[in-house]
Amino acid sequence: MASMLGRVFVQQTPRPSAGNSLYSRILNSPKLKTSLRATSTDRKAGTSTIGGGSSSSSGGKQQKIDTNPPRGTRDFPPDEKRLQNWLFGEFEQVSRTFGFEQIDFPVLESEELFVRKAGEEITEQLYNFEDKGGRRVSLRPELTPSLARLALQKGKGLPLPTKWFAIGQCWRYERATRGRRREHYQWNMDIIGVQGVEAEAELLAAITQFFAGVGLTSSDVGIKVSSRKVLQQVLETCGLENDAFGPVCIMVDKMDKLPREKVVDGLRDLGIPDNTAEKILSALEVKDVSDLEGLLGSDNEAVMDLKRVFELAKSYGYDDYLVFDASVVRGLAYYTGIVFEGFDRAGNLRAICGGGRYDKLLETFGGENHPCVGFGFGDAVIVELLSDKGLLPSIGHSVDDLVVAMDVDLHSVGCRVASKLRSQGKRVDLVLESGKKMKWAFKQAERCGASRLVLVAPDEWEKGLVRVKDLQTREEQDIPFESI
Q: Which residues bind ligand HAM (CB under 6 A)?
A: 142, 144, 172, 174, 179-181, 184, 186, 188, 190, 332, 351-355, 358, 374-378, 380-381
Q: How far apart are CA 295 and CA 314, in angstroms?
A: 24
User: How many residues does the structure list for the chain?
Assistant: 484
CA-nearest of 193, 173, 191, 169 to 181 is 173
Minimal distance, residue 268 CB to ligand HAM, in Å? 26
Minimal distance, residue 180 CB to ligand HAM, in Å? 4
Are 102 and 150 in contact by the 8 Å Cβ rule? The answer is no
Tell which phi-psi region holds residue 425, choosing left (phi > 0), alpha (psi between -120 and 50) or beta.
left
Q: Please state the three-class secondary structure of 244-278 as a single string.
A: HHHHHHHHHHHHHCCCHHHHHHHHHHCCCCHHHHH
Nearer to ligand HAM, 376 or 414 (CB): 376
Minimal distance, residue 44 CB to ligand HAM, in Å? 24
CA-nearest of 113, 118, 91 to 102 is 91
Nearer to ligand HAM, 121 or 319 (CB): 121
Minimal distance, residue 334 CB to ligand HAM, in Å? 8
Sequential DSSP letters for 369-389: ---EEEEEEESHHHHHHHHHT
Are 454 and 442 in contact by the 8 Å Cβ rule? The answer is no
Burial (Cβ within 10 Å: 0-12, 13-18, ≥19) of residue 259: exposed
Minimal distance, residue 143 CB to ligand HAM, in Å? 6
104-139: burial string, b at 16+ Cβ within 10 Å, e else = ebeeebbbebbebebbbbbbbbbbbeeeeeeeebbb
Minimal distance, residue 41 CB to ligand HAM, in Å? 21
Minimal distance, residue 341 CB to ligand HAM, in Å? 7
Minimal distance, residue 95 CB to ligand HAM, in Å? 13
Q: How far apart are CA 233 and CA 250, in angstroms?
A: 16
Nearer to ligand HAM, 116 or 467 (CB): 116
Nearer to ligand HAM, 13 or 177 (CB): 177
CA-nearest of 164, 207, 212, 203 to 352 is 207
Cα 408 to Cα 273, 402, 413, 443, distances in angstroms: 85, 16, 10, 19
Nearer to ligand HAM, 4 or 399 (CB): 4
Q: How far apart are CA 84 and CA 395, in angstroms?
A: 11
Minimal distance, residue 210 CB to ligand HAM, in Å? 12
For 194, what's the count of Cα atoms within 13 Å in the CB-facing half-sphere? 18
> Omega before 161 cis (within 30°)?
yes
Nearer to ligand HAM, 385 or 468 (CB): 385
Nearer to ligand HAM, 86 or 440 (CB): 86
Nearer to ligand HAM, 184 or 229 (CB): 184
CA-nearest of 315, 365, 361, 304 to 338 is 304
Nearer to ligand HAM, 381 or 431 (CB): 381
Minimal distance, residue 183 CB to ligand HAM, in Å? 8
Nearer to ligand HAM, 116 or 180 (CB): 180
Strand partners, 467: 455, 478
Sequential DSSP letters for 105-128: --SEEEGGGT--SS--HHHHT-EE
Minimal distance, residue 417 CB to ligand HAM, in Å? 46
Nearer to ligand HAM, 122 or 430 (CB): 122
Minimal distance, residue 142 CB to ligand HAM, in Å? 3
Nearer to ligand HAM, 174 or 301 (CB): 174
Q: What single-letter DSSP state applies at residue 459?
A: H
Q: Write the single-letter amino acid at 201.
A: A
Cα 276 to chain centroid distance, Å, stands at 37
Q: How far apart are CA 228 and CA 326, in angstroms?
A: 9
Q: What single-letter DSSP state applies at residue 145?
A: H
